[in-house]
Amino acid sequence: MSSEEMLYAKGAKIWIPHAELVWESATLEESYRKGAGFLKIQTESGRLQEWKLKPDGSNLPPLRNPAILVGQNDLTTLSYLHEPGVLYNLRVRFCERQIIYTYCGIILVAINPYADLPLYGPNIIRAYRGHAMGELEPHIFALAEEAYNKLERENCNLSIIVSGESGAGKTVSAKYAMRYFAAVGGSESETQVERKVLASSPIMEAFGNAKTTRNDNSSRFGKFTKLLFKNNMGVMYLQGATMHTYLLEKSRVVYQAQGERNYHIFYQLCAARAKYPELVLDHQDKYEFLNMGGASDIERVSDADQFNDTVQAMTVLGFSIQQIADIVKILAGILHLGNIEVCKKYKDGSDEEDTDSCEIFQNNMHLQVTGDLLKINPDELRRWLLMRKIESVNEYVLIPNNIEMAQAARDALAKHIYAKLFQYIVNVLNKSLNNGSKQCSFIGVLDIYGFETFEVNSFEQFCINYANEKLQQQFNQHVFKLEQEEYLKEGITWTMIDFYDNQPCIDLIESRLGVLDLLDEECRMPRGSDDSWAGKLIEKCAKFPHFEKPRFGTTSFFIKHFSDTVEYDVNGFLEKNRDTVSKELTNVLAQSNMSLCKQVMVLEDVDTLCTDANKNTTTLGGRVVISANRKQQLNETRRRVVPSKQHKKTVGSQFQESLASLISTLHATTPHYVRCIKPNDDKIAFKWETAKIIQQLRACGVLETVRISAAGFPSRWLYLDFYMRYQLLAHRAQIDKNDMNQSCRNIVLKWIPDQDKYRFGNTQIFFRAGQVAFLEQVRANLRKKYITIVQSVVRRFIHRRRYVRLQGVISGIQCHARGYLARMRVQKMREARAALILSKYAKGWLCRRRYLRLRHSVAGIQQYARGMLARNKFYAMRDHYRAVQIQRFVRGVLARRAYQKRRRDIIICQAAVRRFLARRKFRGMKKEAKTIMHMEKKYMGLENKIISMQQRIDELNRDNSNLKHKTSEISVLKMKLEMKKNLELEFKNIKAACLDKDKLIEALNKQLESERDEKMQLLEENGHTQEEWQQQKQIWCQENVELRQQVDSMIEMAKSVQSTQRIQEEHLLTAIDNKELNEAYQRAIKDKEVIENENYMLKEELSRLGQQNGLSSFGMHHVRSVSNASSQNEDDVGYASARNTLDINRQPDLINKSDSFLDSTSIVVKLRSILEEEKQKHRSLLEQYVKLASRNKPTEDSFRSACCTARGGAPKTRGVHSTEGCSLATKPNLTLF
C-alpha cells in the first residue's frame, strides 16, 4: 500500500474549495485507489459529492492536519503546509482561543481583534523579558525581545517591518514594539528619552492619521522610526530616536470621500475651540475641508480629550507655548482658507457672467480671519487667488483665474501649508528625540501602508503599491536566505528553491521609459496632460508582461502586482506628481509677520534617511544575500535624469529616492516582520471573514513563506521529541536508549523508504510536507491494533464481573420485596386507626368552631350597645361643661368691668389729691426762688452750659458738612453703579457680534475694575468712619457717666451748704429789688427756653436729615445732654420751669464762687449777652435747616414721624393729665443724658 493510499483512507479529513467559505472541510466515504477517476466525499454540511481525479492523482484534495497539530503557535510546524491548513489554524487560534498572534517562521502574524485585550501591561513586558522567541506564546513583545537580544549580542542594526492594509493594526503594533524597546532600554537618567519616544505617537497620530471607511485611525503616511541605542558596559541603553516619513496624503486636507474624515488634529482643534477664542472657530461641520465625508465624529473617542493629550505630548517633546499657539493658528488658518468663497463675476454694466474670471469679496470674514491668523496681507492673498502670473524672458503677464482655477489654487495652497507644517513638526520631533550623542546601533520600526486597491485607484495607491512591491522583494530574498542558512547550519544537502520574483513588475515602474519615467517626462512638457501620458504608457509599456491596457478607452491602465491586478485611473496623476503651488501665494506666506509661518514656508524637502545612510555606509560583516535563478543586480534602480535647477523634483522621483534609501537601510539591517491582518470590514470583535483574510495572507507574503517552506523541508523535529513521540513504531531490538539519534534513524528508515522525503541534520530531522502526517497515520494504526487486543481482555473481565454483580443483585431484590409487602400490610393497619382518630378530632373541631362563632356574635352586640350608651352619656356631660364655661366667662366679664370702673374712680381721686399737694409745694418753691441766693445758683451754670451748647453746635455743623460730602459721594457712586449696569446689559446684547472689539472690551473691563476699586475704598472708608463713630460714642457715654457723677456730687454739696447760707440769703434779699430782678430773670428764662426748644427742634431735624443721607448706618442715636434734659422733677410737675435744670447741671467748681454774684446788674447783663448769642446761633441753625430742607423737602408727616422717632417715642405734653404723668412727677431727680 502506497503512502497516498494509506493517507487517503476511508474517514480521512480533506479540504475542498468552496465559493463562499473559500475552503470547506470534507470526509472521504471510500478509500483512494491508484488510477481511480473520482473520490466520494461528504462535506461538513452533509452534502455528498464526487471529486474528479486525474489518472496520476496529481489533483488530490489537500489533507487536514492531525488534531495534535491544530492550533500550533508556528504555522511552519504544520505537517501539511498549504493554504487551507494555514487558514484553519489561524481561525482556531483567533475565533476559538481568541489568540491574535501566530508565528509563521520569521513572520509574526497579528490579527486585529477590534477589542481591548490585557496583553500589553508592564507585567507582560516583564514576563517576556529574557525569554527566547518560541518559549512563550507568540506576541509582539516576543519579537521585540528577539530583536533586542540580537542587538545586545551582536551589536548590529536591526529593523521591524510592520505592514498590512488600512485598519489591520499596523500603527498599534509599531507603537507597542516601541513601548517595549523604551521599557527594556530605558535608563534612569534625567533625559527620559523613552518618555519622549512614547510621547511622539499621539502627535504623529493627530497630524498624520485620519478616519477612512476601513479604519478609524488609519495612518496616511509611511513612518520609519530609528531607536538609537548606546552600549554601556554591555547593556544597550536607549539614547534617542529619529523619524523619517514618506508620502503624506496631502489631498486629504482638501478632499475626503464619503464616510471619511480629514486629519484628526482639525477636529481636535474644533472641539477645543473654547480655549482659543482668538481663532474664531466654529463647529467642525461649518468648514468645507471637514464636512465632505459626513462622518465628523468617531464612536467612543473624544476629540477634546485627544487634543489635550496631543498638547501635553508636544510639551513633553520640547514645543514651546508660543510654538504650539502658532501651530494652532496655522491649522485654523487652513480651515478658514477653505471657507473663502469664490463667486461668479459679471461683466461691467451687464448681467452677463464672465467665465474667464471670478470674484472674492474683500469683506469676506474668512479671508480677513485667515490674514489675521497667519499675519499676512489679505488683499495680497485675494489678489493671487484671483490672478496668476506667467513669466517670459523679460516680462510677465497677469491672467485672471476662473472659479475652478481659483479653487484649485486655494486648495493647493492649503495642501502646501499643511505638508510644510507636518515636515516642520517632524523636524522638531527629531531634534527633541535625538540628543546628538554618538550611538552604537539602532532598531528601526517601519510602519508603512499596506497594499491598497479601491474602486478608483489614483496616484497615492500607485505609490503605495510600488512601495509594497519593493518591500515584498526584500522580504522574499530575506526569507529565502534564512531558509538556506538553516540547511547549511544543519549540514544537509539541498537544491536551489525557486520562488516568485517581482523584479519585472518593479522594472515596469522604475526603469527607463517605465511608468515613473514617462510620468516625469510628461510633467516637464508645457502642455502635458493625463490623456497624453496614458497614450504614451500604452505605447511604451506594452512590452512589459506585467502591464495591461484597458479594453475600452485610454483613461486607465492595469499593473499585475504580486498580490492582485490593479486598475489605475490616470486622471489627476500629473497634477499630484507635479504638486505645484503658486509661487506668488508662497511668497505672500513667506512675507508673514509670524516667525513660524515664515520658517515653515522656507523649509526644503530633504530625505533624512538618505542623509543618514550616506553618513553610515558600513554594513554588517559576513552578511550574504542569496538570490534564486538570477544574479542580483548591484543597483536596484537605474540612474534617473536629474532635473535642472529651474524644475522642481516631482513627487514620484522624491518618493523613489526615499524608497531606495529605505530599502538600502533595510538591507543593511537584520529585519523582523510583522504582518497585520484585518479580519472584517465591520470592525466587529473576533468576527472572521474568510475571503478577506485569505486575500490579505496572499498579499502580505505569509502564503509565499509557507510555499517556500513547503518546497523544502518544512517539518522539523528534535531527536528527543521525535523519539518520545514515535518510539512505538520500531521494534524493541531497533531501540537503543543510549544512542537516541540512531534509534530515530531506524524508525525513519523502516517506514519511509524514499530518502528524498527526509534529511538527518545535526540536531534535527527534516521532513518534506506530508511525511509527519504519514508517520502519525502509521502510529495511529499501530495504536489501534494494540488497543483492540487490550480491549478484548478487558471486555471479558468486565462481563464476568457484571454477571457476579447481577446474581447478588437478584438475591437482594427478593429480600427487599418481601420486606416491602410486610411493611405495606402494617401501613394499612396504621392508616385505619389514624382515620378514627382524625374523625374524632374533626367533629370536636366543628363543634368548637360553631360555639366560638356564636360567642363572638353575642360579644359584638354587647360591645356596640355599651358603646352607644357611653357616647350618649359623654354628649350630656359635654353640653353641661360648655354651659358652665359660658357662665364663667360672662361672670368674669362683669366682674372685670366693675373692677375697672372702681379703679378709674380711685385714680381720679388720687390725681386730685396729688395735684393739690403739688400746687402747694410749687407755691413754696416759688417763694424760695425769689431769693438772691437761689438766683445765683440758677445763673452759675448758665454760662458754662451755653459754652457747652456752642461746642455741641460746632460739632454738629462739622458732622453735617461731613454728611453732605458723603451724600455727594453716594450719589456719584449710584451714578457709577447705574453706568456699570448699563454697560453690562449692553455687553450681553452685543457679545456675539463684537468679537473683533476685544481691545475695547478690555478697556471697559479695566475701567470697571477701577470703579470696583473705588467702591471698595469707599466701603473701607465707610467702615473706618463707623469705627470712629463707635469710638466717639463710647467717649460720649463716658462723659455722660462723669457728668452724672458730677451732678450727684453737686446736689450733695448744695444740700450741705444750703443750711449755712440760709442766713446770708435773708440779708441779701432785703437789699435787692426783688421785683425787677425777678422780672428780668423770668424774661431771660422764657427766652432761654424758647431758644432751647428751637435749637432742640433744629438738632432733631438735622439728625433726621443726617439719617436720610446715610448717617443712620453709623449707628447714631439721640442722647440727652444738659441742654435738652427733662425739667420734670419732684419740685415742678407739669409747668415750664428752669429751676431743676439749672440746679442739676451746675458744676462743682462754681459753688464756691457764690459770693462773687451779689451784683444783680452784672447778672442781667450777662444773661442778655448770652441771650443774643443764643439768638445768633438759632439763626445760623435755622439757615442750615432751610438749606438741608430744600434738598430733601420732607413732608409734614415724615417730619413729625422723624421727630417722634428721634425722641424715642410719641411727644409728651407739658401738662399732667393722666396717672402716668403723676407717677413721673413723683420721681426725684429725673434727668436724661
Could you tell me how many residues make up the chain? 1233
pLDDT band at 39 (very low <50, low <70, confident <90, very high): confident
- What are the phi and psi torsion angles at 580 (to 5°)? -90, 145
Task: Write down the pLDDT at residue 1217.
Answer: 38
| Mean pLDDT for the stretch of residues 904-922 | 92
Q: Is the pLDDT of residue 1223 over 50?
A: no
Q: What is the pLDDT of residue 759?
A: 80
Q: Return d(Cα 564, Cα 544) in angstroms, integer.
A: 16
Q: What is the pLDDT of residue 1081?
A: 62
pLDDT of 1188 > 80? The answer is no
Judging by beta carbons within 10 Å of its beta carbon (0-12, 13-18, 19+), is residue 1035 exposed, middle or buried? Answer: exposed
Closest CA to 168 of 672, 565, 680: 680
Among 545-559, 836-850, 899-913, 1047-1061, the least confident range: 1047-1061
pLDDT of residue 190: 36
* For range 1112-1125, the mean pLDDT: 40
The C-alpha cell of 569 is what? 485611473
* pTM greater than the 0.85 cutoff: no
Please report the pLDDT score of residue 425 as a whole number: 92
Q: Give the pLDDT of residue 924.
A: 84
pLDDT digits (tens, 9 = 90+) for 104-127: 877 899 999 988 888 888 899 989
Look over the chain and give the mean of its residue pLDDT values, rounded to a whole number.
78
**Percent above pLDDT 90 for the chain:** 16
- For the chain, the straight-line distance linking the first and the last C-alpha, in angstroms and rounded, comes to 141
Structural contact between residues 480 and 497, judged by C-beta atoms closer than 8 angstroms = yes
Q: Which residue has the higher pLDDT, 162 or 1060?
A: 162
Q: What is the mean pLDDT of residues 966-995?
A: 79
pLDDT of residue 1162: 55
Q: Residue 465: pLDDT band by 50, 70, 90 thresholds?
A: confident
Residue type, 1030: Q
Would you list the DSSP string of 110-173?
A: EE--SS--S-SSHHHHHHHTT--TTTS---HHHHHHHHHHHHHHH---EEEEEE-STTSSHHHH
For residue 187, what pLDDT is reported? 47
CA dihedral 859, 863, 864, 870 (to 10 degrees): 160
pLDDT at 183: 84
CA distance 663 to 968: 88
- Residue 556 reports pLDDT greater than 80: yes
Check: CB of residue 731 under 8 Å from CB of residue 781: no
Residue 1062 pLDDT greater than 80, yes or no: no
Residue 910, pLDDT above cutoff 80: yes
637 band by pLDDT with thresholds 50, 70 and 90: very low
Q: Could you read off the pLDDT of 794-817 as tens digits, one per residue?
A: 999 999 999 999 999 999 999 999
What is the longest distance spanned by two Cα atoms in the chain?
Answer: 180
pLDDT, mean of residues 572-581: 83
Distance CA 138, CA 133 (A): 8
Rounded Cα–Cα distance for residues 270 and 284 (Å): 6
- Written as nine digits, the cell of 4 is 497516498
pLDDT in tens, 74-105: 887 787 778 888 889 899 999 988 999 998 87
Exposure on the CB side of residue 1181, measured as CA atoms within 13 A: 26
Mean pLDDT for 23-43 is: 83
- CA-CA-CA-CA dihedral for 150, 153, 156, 160, to nearest 10: 10
In this prediction, residue 708 has a pLDDT band, given cuts at 50, 70 and 90, of low
**Cα 833-839-842 angle, rounded to 5 deg:** 140
Q: Read off φ and ψ for residue 343, nearest 5 degrees.
A: -110, 170
Measure the CA–CA gap between 533 and 555, rounded to whole angstroms.
9
Residue 1141 clears pLDDT 70, i.e. is over it: no
DSSP 213: S
pLDDT of residue 857: 94
Per the listing, cell 513660524 goes with: 596
Averaged over 823-835, what is the pLDDT? 92
